[in-house]
Chain A
């Protein structure tokens, strides 16, 4: 083996951005999922659940591939532990999206009347948070080109702050929606209320994972 060839490992930054894309694809399906669910179209809910589950699995496969290519002997321009944490957190985005789908597919829970637009707005907001992160992650390879320094890093730091703000906003939306649920106590019954609370909580968790992933990138960059 030529030492000059053996020297180059597989750079994780391209695949990390690809993993973001897979996670985001999973999250994007939440909108049609909720539409079907709120319409009471259980067959379609199940179908979209299956698609989400497959996409989540694809993200998992890529996660493991990236991990397999990061042995301890590999020297990276950023901390290897940070990269692994980042990957785990990012995979959590797809995991939580799947959890949401599992919940919706678990029980034919009736929708609280009058909350449809509020719920869809919340779902859209979660997707927008994920989309904002997805848009930034495409610059991971640019960051590597810039050797993790200069104006590119400043730009990324700004976007991480924006995502953090979006997550905060998502938290508020979740709290408002949950409060709104109790106006329908009579109509829904305790079990459905419990279910919806859970759904909102796990939806919020999707945004949490987006924020944590972005935060870990900030950490990676700050250690430079």
Chain B
């Protein structure tokens, strides 16, 4: 039990540290586009990020956390009556701890060498490493892993497609219109309504899903549309109040209005990011917490993720934001001024919708890579001055390298600690 206690304490600390890292580094990728376009001031971005990341983490974070804590490794093999004997549950706990430590170590190493490594890919790779080193090929749930890796390919494409369609729509109905100002005033409320409705729907769906009384689908959709419409009407009033100064080109006006609309997608992105990425920090922790409940004696198949674990992840992200994240957001924001609000709105909408869908399906994906897909989507709709497409190759390379590297690190660490502790 003492070993169990050590594992519990260290995993808790490592999980909190990982959440802090995500808050300090990864949130900047999600929020940078909003700050760069001027849609949010730095202070506003931090407040939005803190509130929405935390909400996303505690409200929708459970599905992805569940996948990382028990979907990737064949946890049943670690049962006390399994091939590893009574030490099985303890070894699973140790494995999860090693995965967390290895992912953190690999992230630091990769960042040091300037590689565009994703937190998600690191943690998934590390957990896979634990499964492999324990049981070989049968230790990993290949079915789940295939879905996850598939989602890594699909998510930037889907994010890109949605962003392309969004900007294509804005381009066709606003920028190409003979009177872009009037067109913006007409169309903007609908765009806001759609964003808010999607967010509300995922909100209701996930929050209620964990309860016994799941609301009827039509009821949820109805509420979402009604709430979206309400916010849309309010946005319409705000937009109409925006005065046109004589020196403005119509496009300056359009961008200013979209600066307001982009607040909705900025919230959306932060929410989606919290929902998906909190799992990278607390996924392994959730597994260890569940195991420690009965003193590392059984591996429970069906246990929901404890709320406090998600809250811890959320708080860790917020602290990361407050201590270091704000500086990183400012740096990122300063460097992507090419992103104007119409473009930022489109890219963020595409990315956040995709990330939220993935989160609902329990698929851990990279928010950053999805957002990169979104920006490229806007570029393909002639929205951006110059895009460096070499980034795509670097991203693909990085995740091909990350998974084996993180898996290897986790496996080595696990073998060493297993020999020392158990």
* Interface of A toward B, CB cutoff 8 Å: 1-13, 69-70, 73-78, 142, 144-152, 224
Contacts and interface: CB of A to CB of B under 8 A. Distances in A.
Question: 7 nearest interchain CB pairs?
Answer: A11-B385, A9-B386, A77-B382, A150-B176, A145-B251, A75-B387, A3-B116
A9 B176 CA distance: 25
B171 A6 contact: no
Mostly, the A contact residues are: loop
Interface in B48-69: none
B171 to A, nearest CB: 5
Contacts of B252: 145
B352 to A, nearest CB: 14
A84 to B, nearest CB: 13
Interface string B377-401: 0011111111111110011000000
A150 B173 CA distance: 10
A142 B247 CA distance: 13
15 contacts: A4-B375, A7-B388, A8-B375, A9-B387, A11-B385, A11-B386, A75-B376, A145-B251, A147-B167, A147-B175, A149-B175, A149-B176, A150-B175, A151-B178, A152-B251
Contact of A8 (B249, B383, B387, B394): B387
A10 B114 CA distance: 21
Given A8-B339, A152-B251, 17 more contacts: A1-B114, A4-B33, A5-B336, A7-B375, A8-B375, A8-B384, A9-B388, A11-B385, A73-B389, A74-B388, A75-B389, A76-B386, A145-B251, A146-B180, A148-B382, A149-B175, A149-B176
Contact of A10 (B251, B368, B375, B386): B386
Contacts of A6: 116, 388, 390-391, 394
Contacts of A75: 376, 379-380, 386-389
B235 interface: no
Given A146-B251, A147-B382, A4 B338 contact: no
Contact of A7 (B114, B180, B340, B372): B372
Nearest to B171: A147
B29 interface: yes
Interface of B: 28-29, 32-33, 114-116, 167, 171, 175-178, 180, 249, 251-252, 255, 332, 335-336, 338-340, 368-369, 371-372, 375-376, 379-391, 394-395
B386 A2 contact: no
B45 to A, nearest CB: 14
Contacts of A150: 175-178, 180
Given A77-B382, A145-B340, A224-B382, A3 B251 contact: no
Given A145-B255, A150-B176, A13 B385 contact: yes
A2 B332 contact: yes
Mostly, the B contact residues are: helix
Contacts, number: 119
B386 A8 contact: yes
A17 to B, nearest CB: 12
Contacts of A151: 177-178, 180
A45 to B, nearest CB: 42
A142 B251 CA distance: 8
A4 B29 contact: yes
A146 B170 CA distance: 10
Contact of A144 (B167, B385, B394): B385
A3 B369 contact: yes
Given A3-B395, A75-B379, A145-B249, A8 B335 contact: yes
A179 B379 CA distance: 53
B109 to A, nearest CB: 15
B386 A147 contact: no
Contacts of A76: 385-387
A74 B251 contact: no
A224 B391 CA distance: 25
A74 B29 contact: no
B162 to A, nearest CB: 17
Nearest to A148: B382
B385 A2 contact: no
Given A146-B251, A150-B180, A77 B336 contact: no
Contacts of A10: 385-386
A78 B379 CA distance: 10
Given A147-B383, A150-B177, A73 B390 contact: yes
B337 to A, nearest CB: 9
Contacts of B390: 6, 73
A1 B254 CA distance: 32
A86 to B, nearest CB: 15
Contacts of B369: 3
B29 A2 contact: yes
Given A145-B255, A147-B381, A150-B175, A4 B368 contact: yes
Contacts of A152: 251
A76 B167 CA distance: 16
Contact of B385 (A1, A77, A224): A77
Contact of A12 (B171, B180, B386): B386
A3 B373 CA distance: 11
Given A2-B332, A3-B394, A150-B175, A8 B116 contact: no
